[in-house]
Structure 1
Amino acid sequence: MISALSGFALIGVIVLAGRLARSRAGLPADAEAVLGRLVYAVMTPCLLFTGVAEAELHVLLSEPLLVSAGAAFACFGAHTLLTRHGDRGTRIVGALTAGYTNANYIGIPVATYVLGDAALVVPIVVLQLLVVTPVALTLLEVATTGHASLRTTVTAPLRNPLIVAVLAGVVSSLTGVRLPAVLAEPIATIGSAAVPVVLLAFGMSLSGRPVLAPGPDRTATIAAVVLKTVAMPVIAFLLAAGLGLPRDAAYAVTVLAALPTAQNIFLYAQSFGTGLVVARDAIFLSTVCCVPVLLLIAVLFSR
């Protein structure tokens, strides 16, 4: 567990660097917005393409993934029912914060050092990239542009660089066709910068406004954090028990369900200009709160 906590420490240091840069480096007022657009349009598509192209798509067919997916969608739905006020874009972002797991930056070290197998987190990564992300981005596109025609709904994914990158990665994975090294290596290098830059932009957004400040977003944020760090692992455990998963598998899906909200949600909120406060506060609080939850799960399963 001590080794796994290094992932949290790494995130914390980069976020702190972003906050200090915003308050002391004399950056322009729109610095984090510019970083966000750069990550959204260039870095993250490269990261997604590389990740999906190298993924084993058959991992979507597994009982543990059914548990993880069931817990996630239950939390998406619960948040939508609990927070019926506010604009549609904010409600979509809020629902995502309640069930979209930080499977990469926190999930990989936790799967490696706590569960002993980094591959356990791969199915969740694939599910979120291939199913949740395209649907969520399409809904945000429709909600924020106000265009809900059939043509707009159908073509929205093809106008989104993240979804295009995922689809290209799927084609590469299924066909076995790989880009030549002269292209693949620069794409992978650019993609590797996405997470640190998102964390820097996230840290910048924390400067000047306290977390959980009074306002219409406070209830949605609290609901998201409780669902993500408490309800989701409980639901995952109950589903695992209902499917009769072995103890080790039940432990794994429960731990993975307790991971915090992914920083991707902040990127989506920033890109579409909606739900920024909910995304920022839920990511920060779920990252802090999941540490004692993970420790508690480890203690309970050790008995």
Structure 2
Amino acid sequence: MSGVISGFTVIFIVVGVGYVLGRTRVIGDRAHEVLSRLVFFVFTPALLFHSLVTSDLSVVFSSTLVIAGGGALIIATAYLVIAKLTLRRGIPELVIGALSSSYVNSVNLGLPIAIFVLDDASFVAPLLLFQILILSPMALLALDLTALERESGRSVVKDSLIAPLTNPIVVGGIAGLVVSLLGLMPPAAVMSPLKMLGDASVPTALLAFGMSLTGVQIFKKGESPRRDILLASVLKMVAMPLAVYAIARWGFGQTGHDLFAQVVIAALPTAQNVFVYATRYRRGQILARDTGLITTIASIPVIAAIALLLA
């Protein structure tokens, strides 16, 4: 449990610093939007490229990829269906909600927990790859086509082909995968600055998240989409660990430490990337923010319970 506590302590401290910066307005009233744009357009693409180029793809492409990716897809689809039928939201809000219910905080919290609790960081890598190359591109394409204004007369088909090529996160992930598959290693003069920029992604996203909490009230009546947040939070913290358990246990016959690791990774909270995406497209920001906060707090007792039952 020391690894869990350590990982969460790091997150809360950085978010707290962001909150203080937001309260004092040291760096301006809309600083969290500027930081979110930096994360979206610069830091995260650099992080993805560097991570994929330096990853061992033989470890990434494993049964863990199918288990983690399958669980995320099941939960995201469940949110889309339930929210569409019962809440009747627009496509951008549905996409942000689906991400809030299935997009795992696999970097700044997943890595510490994988290292200190599971003693193996390789459990996080397949899920990170799935989120980079499959879940994010699908979601960002939908947001590009529905949340951004298009010029009159432009073809939806054409936009659907062009949008991924102009999205920096998708481009960074695909470029990193291609370079890794080709067995190429860019020179240190290229990789070093990319690593520096990539290392700024997680803390900057957490700072932006903390700033966004300034002066807000969770579940505020008339402002917060309470049913959306509740649905996303329950799916993320209850349904997703159960779905991954079922896939790993009965689909792949996993038991012991491997099964425990799969379920713990699935129980990680919603990533702050979702809030960054919501801020970029100006849709579902409160949904992403509140779900991220609630699942971060809820994941502490959930992971503790999983450890007691499966460890």
Normalising to structure 2: TM-score of the pair? 0.93
Which residue pairs with 2:21 in the alignment? 21
- Report the CA distance shift for 1:167/1:65 in structure 2 as closer, same or farther (over 3 A): closer
SS of equivalent residue, structure 1 residue 189: helix
Displacement of 1:47 = 0.9
Letter aligned with residue 237 of structure 1: Y
Letter aligned with residue 15 of structure 1: V
Distance in 2 of aligned mates of 1:173 and 1:135? 22
Letter aligned with residue 122 of structure 2: A
How large is the Cα RMSD of the aligned pairs?
A: 1.5
Whether 1:120 and 2:127 are equivalent positions in the alignment is no
Distance in 1 of aligned mates of 2:123 and 2:264? 11
Whether 1:35 and 2:43 are equivalent positions in the alignment is no
Q: 1:161 aligns with which of 155, 161, 168?
A: 168
Distance in 1 of aligned mates of 2:237 and 2:309? 16
Distance in 1 of aligned mates of 2:7 and 2:172? 26
Where in structure 1 are there 5+ consecutive unaligned residues? none
Displacement of 1:3 = 2.6
Question: Number of residues paired by the alignment?
Answer: 302
Letter aligned with residue 23 of structure 1: R
CA contact (8 A) 1:233 1:254 kept: yes
Q: Deviations over 1:114-146 (max 9, x none)?
A: 212111111111111111111111111011125
Q: Deviations over 1:56-87 (max 9, x none)?
A: 33345422322212211111011112212222
Distance in 2 of aligned mates of 1:183 and 1:162? 18
Deviates more, 1:98-107 or 1:210-219: 210-219
Q: 1:239 aligns with which of 233, 247, 270?
A: 247
Distance in 2 of aligned mates of 1:111 and 1:181? 28
Which residue pairs with 1:136 in the alignment? 139
Which residue pairs with 2:264 in the alignment? 255
Runs of 4+ with >4 A deviation: none
- The aligned runs of 1:44-59 (5 Å cut-off) are 44-59=44-59
- The aligned runs of 1:1-303 (5 Å cut-off) are 1-84=1-84, 85-145=88-148, 147=150, 149-215=156-222, 217-243=225-251, 244-302=253-311
Distance in 2 of aligned mates of 1:236 and 1:26? 43
Distance in 2 of aligned mates of 1:9 and 1:298? 19
- Report the CA distance shift for 1:112/1:60 in structure 2 as closer, same or farther (over 3 A): closer
CA contact (8 A) 1:55 1:126 kept: no
CA contact (8 A) 1:60 1:127 kept: no
